[in-house]
Amino acid sequence: MSFKIVVKRLLFFVLVVWAASTIVFFIPRLSSRNAIRERFGELARTGGFSPGDIEKMIASMQQQFGLDKPIFEQYWQYLGNIMRLDFGYSLSKYPTTATEVIAQALPWTIGLLLVTTVLSFVLGTLLGAVAAWPKAPGWLRSLATPFILLTGVPPVIMGILLLFFIGFRLKWLPLGGAYSAGIVPTWSWSFFLDLMQHQILPALALILGSVGGWVLSMRGMGITIQGEDYVNFAEHKGLTGGRIFRDYYLRNALLPQVTGLALALGTVITSAVIVEGIFGLPGIGTALNLAIRANDFPVIYGIVIFITIAIAALMTILEFVYPLLDPRIREN
């Protein structure tokens, strides 16, 4: 890959992040609502503050957040803060910063996303490839059918169904939470087993809701690949079925799957955020739900921008990985 292409893709990444950050900054300011005033209004209704004290606190917070400055001065300061990953202070957990709130929730989301995305992609790709391979055993090809039937069920609905039937009706697995109440997190085998037990249902919701899509796309591409000249040539050379399947069939059919993975990252991340809220995991999804309920706009902005940066970064990484799978891109 040439240096010019690398620079262009990195510039595109910066452009995407800048455009998303600009939209996040200006759209809320089109509204007449004042997040700080609304937040302190809620505190006044429950805490018994006097109106004079409330106004002083609002003025102090507006000065601290820079809301008393002209709009474009706020914008340039906002862009500078994003470059430092500084999203300001959380209104509901002050003086904790929004970055600290995100950092505390991030490991849970990364763990869930990493496992489910890798498993669903690998499982769906292999099942789709086997389903389209005419020399595969019939029983092995039929394994793809149940996953295809689940394609129309979104991960969110899948999570609710699993929660109701397996967690509530059958009581096989916990209904939610990261670990059992009363357990202190430690580096022990018992805590690890309890932790994994609580992750099974949300992981299944994401995997079962997405494997079918990978099966269908890989199966369609596999059927197309079977008629290609290089596959027929490999068969006429007398190569074994396993080598043809691995080197000529699977590797070439895998290229569109990687492109689909880049396009599906946004859906995967947003689905994981919603599923976390359903199962009460202390990840980005739960932090976002709590921030929305508390009108904690700095945390909301920070999470939205962070998700945007994460998706753009992952798509850029896949852009660099793709030429390793298809040498023709390097040559062109």
Task: Kindly state whether residue 265 falls inside one of the protein's structural domains.
Answer: yes
Task: Kindly state whether residue 59 falls inside one of the protein's structural domains.
Answer: no
Joined tokens for residue 321? 């990985």
Q: What is the pLDDT of residues 125-139, one digit of tens each?
A: 888 888 887 777 777
Q: Tell me, what's the pLDDT at 206?
A: 85
Q: What is the DSSP string of 252-280?
A: HHHHHHHHHHHHHHHHHHHHHHHHHHHHT
Task: Kindly state whether residue 242 falls inside one of the protein's structural domains.
Answer: yes
* Contact criterion met (CB below 8 Å) for 99 and 86: yes
* Contact criterion met (CB below 8 Å) for 207 and 116: yes
Q: Count CB atoms within 10 A of the CB of residue 22.
A: 13
User: Inter-axis angle of helices 98-132 and 251-279, to 10 degrees?
Assistant: 140
Radius of gyration in angstroms for the set of CA atoms belonging to the chain, rounded to a whole number? 25
Full residue range of the structural domain in which residue 245 is found: 103-295
Q: Tell me, what's the pLDDT at 31?
A: 64
Q: Tell me, what's the pLDDT at 48?
A: 56
Q: CA–CA separation, 268 vs 165, rounded Å?
A: 24
Q: CA–CA separation, 208 vs 147, rounded Å?
A: 7
Task: Kindly state whether residue 255 falls inside one of the protein's structural domains.
Answer: yes
In three-state form (DSSP H/G/I as H, E/B as E, the rest C), the secondary structure along 139-152 is HHHCCHHHHHHHHH
Task: Kindly state whether residue 87 falls inside one of the protein's structural domains.
Answer: no
Task: Kindly state whether residue 198 falls inside one of the protein's structural domains.
Answer: yes
Task: Kindly state whether residue 247 falls inside one of the protein's structural domains.
Answer: yes
3-state class of 88 per DSSP?
Answer: coil
Number of domains in the chain: 1
What CATH number is given to the structural domain containing 112?
1.10.3720.10
Q: Tell me, what's the pLDDT at 154?
A: 81
* Contact criterion met (CB below 8 Å) for 311 and 265: yes
Q: CA–CA separation, 241 vs 197, rounded Å?
A: 40
List the alpha helices (DSSP H) in 280-332: 284-293, 297-325, 327-331
Task: Kindly state whether residue 129 falls inside one of the protein's structural domains.
Answer: yes
Positions in the chain short of pLDDT 70: 1, 31-55, 57-58, 60-68, 266, 325-332
Q: CA–CA separation, 248 vs 158, rounded Å?
A: 36
